[in-house]
Structures are given as C-alpha cells and as structure tokens.
Structure 1
Amino acid sequence: MKKLIIIYSLLLFGLTNAQSVKYGLTGSVHKGSIAGIHGVSKGDFGGNIGVFADFSLVTNDVYDSAWLYFTPQLEVYTLGEKADWDEDKRDYQKYSNVYVGVPLYLKYYLRNHGYKGDIYLMFGPKLEFLVSEKTDEGNALAEATAAGFDPNIFGLGQKPKSFGYGISVKAGAKVSDNVEVFVRFDRGLSKIYPDFKPQATYNRFFALGLSYYLGSTD
C-alpha cells in the first residue's frame, strides 16, 4: 500500500504545471470474473468507486476547450465469481477479491470542425493491488481428491497474487458540465494465480458508470 501511495503522489506532483486540472468522483457497476481457472464458473456483479483528475495536455485557452488529457484514477473495486468444479450445479465455490486500482488513462475528446466534442475515448495501463481476499470452497478440495482428481486442475486451493497489471479502455459522453457517462472494459495481463500451471489466469470486467466533476483549477 505504501508503494501505491508513493506512485500516485508522484504522478500528481509531477503534473502540477499542467494547463488545467479538473477533478472529481467516479463509480460504476460491472460483471467481472477471473478467467482461466475454477473449471465451470460464472462471474459476479461488483462495484467500483474512485477519484480522478484530468490534467490537460494541450492548450486550454478557452474555458474547458482542451481535448486531450492525462487522467490518473485511484479506485476500489470488487471482483469475483462462483464455480462448480464437478458441474453438479450445487455446492458452488465462491471467490471474492477487493482491489485498489490505479488506471493511468489518456483521454481524447472527439472533435467536430476542430472544436472539442462531447464524446470521448480513454485507454491506458492499470495497476492493481489486492487488499482483501475471501474464498469459500466448502469441501470441494477434499471431494476432488477423494474422487481421484488433482484439485489443481480445477483451480482449487489456489492463492492470488497481491499485485497485478493490465489495460483499461473507456468510451463515454458528456451529459452536462459536471456529469459524464461511460462504458468500460478491463483486462488483466498478469497471472492472478501464480501456482496454477494449466493456463494463464487474469482478471476482467465490463462496466457501466458515471463521473462527476467537483471542480477545476481554471
């Protein structure tokens, strides 16, 4: 967590000379899962809440005319799924993780005849730090072993890494001077369960959300 605070503080400090800075709150709901593990599994719905700042990367000589921003975000979100190792449709295994994430976006507003429009695209890398892990596999580990299976094949008894990284993409629209709505897709690029050998495992989710601007330095 100390590394997270240092990273975010350096980013904000290093951009204090930007043309303008807007800041606010953001939140979303998503359907997420941990791909590549736990046999037959279904993603769970989760939530995301965070803070962000828009640092303009181009001249902002007319009020809110900048069309390109660097937008770091600090957020907390949940990500989980339920699984059924033997596909009997009962006694599901449940996995629920809480992360602190740091997406680092470039934000580009589409322009119309050279003027900033209301539609925008965002993309960039994301760092994620596991702060809470809750696993409820019931008797699945013992049952798989007793049935003559290697539990690792079904991802049972695995522990997730505390740090990961990936990419995040958004597309959104300005609703008012203070409100924007967006759709978002995140995909992990690092292996979530390092001891799971059969294949790569990564986080992913698709989200719908909104951002609310609290103010700016203009």
Structure 2
Amino acid sequence: MGGFSMREKMTKIYAKGNKNIILRVTPGHFVTPQSHITHYLDMTTMRSRVSEAQAVAKELANKYQVSTPVDTIVCMDSLEVIGAFLAEELTKAGVHSMNAHQTIYVTSPEFNSQGQILFRDNIQPMIKGKNCIILMSSVTTGKTLQSGIESILYYGGVIRGVSAIFSAVSKVAGVDVDSIFRQKDIPDYCTYKSRECKLCKNLVKIDALVNSFGYTKI
C-alpha cells in the first residue's frame, strides 16, 4: 500500500471522564463484512489488557440501574474479559440476577457458515428465560447486533440492554445502544454501504480488511 502505516496514522481519543479508556483510531479506507468505513477502531488492548478491560467494564456498568435484573452477559467480538469484569461490577453495584445460582453468566454465541448466530444446547440454559445484556466492541450498521437480538429472542432470552465501546447508531431493533464512544467523538467518521461508498467512487484504495478480530492490510 505504498508505505501505509497503521501506527503512524493512528491517533488516540480518550473517554470523557475516564482518561484510562483510550480508543485508538486510524483514518483510511477500510472494508468490514457489512460496510466500508473511514476509520479503523483498534480495541485490542481494551479486550486483552486487564487494566483497560476493568476501566471499560466499570464505565459500562454505570449505565445500568440497580433495578435492572441481569442473568447473562452475551459477549460478541471476543469481549469475554470485559464481560467478566462487567459481571463483577454489576454484582458489586447490587444488580441482582434472577437465576437459581444468584450469579451472572458470561458467554458467547457461535456463528454458522451462513453467518447466523446460534447457541449450542449446553449454552441455551444461560439464555432461555434469562435477562440478557449484549456486549459489543463496535456497532456500525447494526446488522450484527440485530442478528444477536433476534437470536437471543429466538432462544427465549429477554434483552435488558446493549452495551458497546463504540456505536454509530443509538438504537437497533427498538433497543437502545449505550456506548462509551459515539460517532460524534470521531471527526469525519463515516460508514457506507459497499455499493454507495464515496471512497470507492473517488478511487481511493482500500487500506485493510477489518472485522472484530482486527485488520489485514491489502
């Protein structure tokens, strides 16, 4: 890519009220499974570094009322570490679970070859009849989140909230999306359908393919 460097172009955005939460943002032309975006949001250390995961979990926990029952946190995008800390923060805050064990489950869905979200038989008891929170790293178009909501409802779960580190939308399928960072926090951030991408129309080369695991330069 003619010397394109993700690190050289990267800038840091700090969460309001918590400078320990840092979103690393790189401008460019990136392709996700659902859209084309103008910025890559690197959340690698948030997912894997304990201090950052704890800070993110604490911030997200502030958005829930003690009166909100939570039985299960469904972690998308490899957010199990944050999910475990979120469960701990909610428990410390006095959020109650309604399941027989009086504790919060932390689990992840599975994607089949068609991209559909499913829960295996051994996981389904954590979903059926349970009060669920969906945890995501980023919500861009909302398609993956909508699939997650539909899957949890199909397996008999109750959606009590959606939490994300970043979200470009405020609501999906009638459910509010609470996030630490919003589109307004990233100047000039845009997302396009692949056939409507302004960058493609202006012949701007694609820098990398990105998904919830990271990026692959082209």
Query: Above 0.5 in TM-score?
Result: no
**More helix by proportion, 1 or 2?**
2
Instruction: Tell me the TM-score normalised to structure 1 length.
Output: 0.32
Instruction: Tell me the TM-score normalised to structure 2 length.
Output: 0.32
